[in-house]
């Protein structure tokens, strides 16, 4: 029988505490609306006592989102609890979340309190919160490093005080799956009244075990998982929402639980958070990383072409992604290369495929990834079509509002010079390139990074340029960042022309 597990999303509170991930009020509202669309059960919107902005963010989220519960965090202190309750006044389904540490480490070094004092404070906080709010969650901070018999004592006290949810967090990411499973089993089995509350698991990822620990906690009796989108959070982050949800979905026979998450919204949610915070998702991040459904190895590509289930345990569509991607790289085989050529509309002879494969491997040795437009250029070259590329010889810019650029390109033995204006040096130079080549491109994506260290670092530019219905990638490198950007643009132009010639 499948049991229901609730998803308590703390992206807007614990997740926002990740360095560089702070959000303003408007951004929290945008994220909360998407979390509602995703189907989370609870949104922890912030820590109202921390600042006026935090208070306002919780209040605005409570006003803007209706279906999920809205939670606010408070220490086991009257002022915190009252402030959190005030911020939640507009919520349809408010949750007041209060906490105090229970490990002897925290009692001695942080709280300077005895065990008896902490039990009393915890119960008092829950009673206060319950007098103001219908649903109260209590967290025993650093539970996984707490004495189990004492944890039972604290849990019994807060249940008797009126708690609806008891959270036993791995605050510092210290525990292991076996230990946390046994902790939940022990506390639930030995605490009078444990059947009247829901137990929750909140895990940090310091040892890379947050998701594994969350799943183990469910096997130990927890029925709520506290997590964040993309796993962001303090230090190494929190339990990754998308990973724990898809683990339950894919391995239902091992974890017989269901959630209300609309998994097709996972990718959209991940991208929105990344855009808001500026925190890029690692390419190899499970579920939402760029490479999560990408296959480069030739044997993998051959298997995928035969049947997706050979190397995929879930479909990209199930998490809101368009399709699997057969990435072209030096590990790709002829079979995958031929299949990609056919998908692009090219029918090649065996001899042409062999020639193309030689050129492809040579290019793949120089580049980490070969794009489709790179492949089109290679195909043009093996078909012996006359195709001369443009090369950037010079770019000069001056002035502002507007900026003027002079660009000189070389094509074969010809030198071609044009001037143009634009909103900035790169825009002006690209406009001049367009005049020379006779086509107009639109810069869709642009990124720049230092390829070498030091003040005179080589800048590496990557662009995606749209030419009507075609988009081409380009790269360029120079110690002058404007020159690098224009070189990348010219590289994309050359690819566009190659496509039109094939």
Give yes or no for a cis peptide into 402 (omega within 30° of 0). Answer: yes
**pTM, rounded to two decimals:** 0.69
SS3 of 457-490: the string is CCEEEEEEEEECCEEEEEEEEECCHHHHHHHHHH
Angle between helices 350-366 and 372-382 (to 10 degrees): 130
Residue 178 CB neighbour total at 10 angstroms: 11
Q: What is the pLDDT of residue 333?
A: 66
Q: What is the pLDDT of residue 86?
A: 98
Cα dihedral 338, 344, 348, 352, rounded to 10, equals -70
Q: What is the pLDDT of residue 298?
A: 44
Q: Is 138 exposed, middle or buried (0-12, 13-18, 19+ CB in 10 A)?
A: buried
Give the three-class secondary structure for 45. strand
* Sequence-distant (≥ 6) Cβ neighbours of residue 123 within 8 angstroms: 157, 158, 160, 161
CATH superfamily of 391-501: Alpha-isopropylmalate synthase LeuA, regulatory domain (3.30.160.270)
- Give yes or no for a contact between 88 and 69, defined as CB atoms under 8 angstroms apart: no
CATH 3.30.160.270 intervals, the chain: 391-501
Calpha distance 87→91 (Å, rounded)? 9
- Give yes or no for a contact between 336 and 311, defined as CB atoms under 8 angstroms apart: no
Per-position pLDDT tens, the chain of length 502: 689 999 999 999 999 887 778 888 999 999 999 999 999 999 999 999 999 999 999 999 999 999 999 999 999 999 999 999 999 999 999 999 999 999 999 999 999 999 999 999 999 999 999 999 999 999 999 999 999 999 999 999 999 999 999 999 999 999 999 999 999 999 999 999 999 999 999 999 999 999 999 999 999 999 999 999 999 999 999 999 999 999 999 999 999 999 999 999 998 899 889 888 888 888 889 998 877 766 334 444 344 444 455 556 688 888 887 654 445 655 566 776 777 777 666 777 888 888 888 877 777 776 666 666 677 767 766 654 445 679 899 999 998 889 999 999 998 888 999 999 999 999 999 999 999 999 999 888 888 876 555 555 567 788 889 888 788 888 887 878 899 899 889 988 988 887 776 6
CATH 3.20.20.70 intervals, the chain: 3-277
Q: What is the pLDDT of residue 320?
A: 82
Q: Which of 171, 175, 189, 177 is nearest to 217 (CA)?
A: 177
Q: What is the pLDDT of residue 299?
A: 42
CATH number of 3-277, picked from 3.40.710.10, 3.30.1490.20, 3.30.450.20, 3.20.20.70: 3.20.20.70
To which H or E segment does residue 73 belong?
A: strand 69-75
- How does DSSP classify residue 144? G
Report how far Cα 416 is from the mean position of its chain's Cα atoms.
Answer: 45
Angle between helices 148-161 and 177-190 (to 10 degrees): 50
Q: What six digits make up the tokens of 239?
A: 């339990």
- Give yes or no for a contact between 377 and 494, defined as CB atoms under 8 angstroms apart: yes
DSSP class per residue in 82-138: HHHHHHTTT-SSEEEEEEEE-SHHHIIIII---HHHHHHHHHHHHHHHHHH-S-EEE
């Amino acid at each position: 029988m499948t049991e229901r597990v609730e998803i308590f999303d703390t992206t807007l509170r614990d997740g926002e505490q990740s360095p560089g991930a702070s959000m303003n009020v408007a951004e929290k509202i945008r994220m909360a609306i998407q979390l509602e669309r995703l189907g989370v059960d609870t949104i922890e919107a912030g820590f109202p006592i921390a600042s006026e902005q935090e208070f306002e963010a919780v209040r605005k989220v409570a006003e803007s989102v209706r279906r999920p519960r809205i939670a606010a965090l408070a220490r086991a202190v009257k002022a915190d609890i009252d402030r959190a309750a005030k911020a939640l006044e507009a919520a349809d389904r408010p949750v007041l979340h209060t906490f105090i540490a229970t490990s002897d480490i925290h009692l001695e070094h942080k709280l300077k309190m005895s065990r008896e004092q902490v039990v009393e404070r915890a119960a008092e906080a829950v009673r206060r919160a319950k007098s103001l709010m219908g649903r109260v969650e209590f967290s025993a901070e650093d539970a996984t490093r707490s004495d189990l018999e004492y944890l039972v004592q604290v849990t019994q006290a807060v249940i008797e005080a009126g708690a609806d949810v008891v959270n036993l967090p791995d605050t510092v990411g210290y525990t292991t799956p076996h230990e946390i499973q046994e902790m939940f089993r022990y506390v639930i089995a030995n605490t009078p009244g444990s059947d009247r509350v829901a137990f929750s698991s909140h895990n940090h990822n310091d040892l890379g075990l947050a998701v594994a620990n969350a799943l183990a906690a469910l096997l130990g009796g927890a029925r709520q998982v506290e997590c964040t989108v993309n796993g962001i959070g303090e230090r190494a982050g929190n339990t990754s929402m998308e990973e724990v949800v898809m683990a339950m979905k894919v391995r239902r026979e091992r974890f017989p639980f269901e959630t209300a998450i609309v998994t097709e919204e996972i990718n959209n949610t991940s991208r929105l958070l990344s855009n808001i915070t500026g925190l890029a998702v690692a390419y190899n991040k499970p579920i939402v990383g760029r490479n999560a459904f990408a296959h480069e190895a030739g044997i993998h590509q051959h298997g995928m072409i035969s049947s997706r289930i050979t190397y995929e345990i879930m479909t990209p569509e199930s998490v809101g992604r368009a399709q699997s991607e057969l990435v072209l790289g030096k590990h790709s085989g002829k079979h995958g290369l031929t299949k990609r050529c056919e998908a692009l509309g090219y029918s090649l002879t065996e001899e042409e495929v062999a020639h193309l494969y030689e050129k492809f491997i040579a290019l793949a040795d120089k580049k980490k990834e070969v794009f489709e437009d790179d492949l089109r250029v290679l195909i043009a070259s093996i078909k012996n079509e006359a195709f001369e590329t443009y090369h950037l010889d010079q770019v000069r810019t001056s002035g502002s509002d507007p900026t003027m650029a002079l660009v000189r390109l070389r094509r074969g033995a010809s030198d071609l010079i044009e001037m143009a204006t634009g909103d900035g040096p790169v825009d002006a130079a690209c406009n001049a390139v367009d005049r020379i080549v006779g086509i107009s491109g639109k810069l869709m994506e642009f990124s720049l990074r230092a390829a070498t260290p030091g003040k005179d670092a080589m800048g590496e530019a990557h662009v995606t340029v749209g030419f009507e219905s075609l988009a081409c990638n380009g790269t360029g490198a120079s110690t002058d960042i404007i020159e690098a950007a224009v070189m990348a643009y010219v590289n994309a132009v050359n690819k566009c022309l190659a496509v039109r010639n094939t």
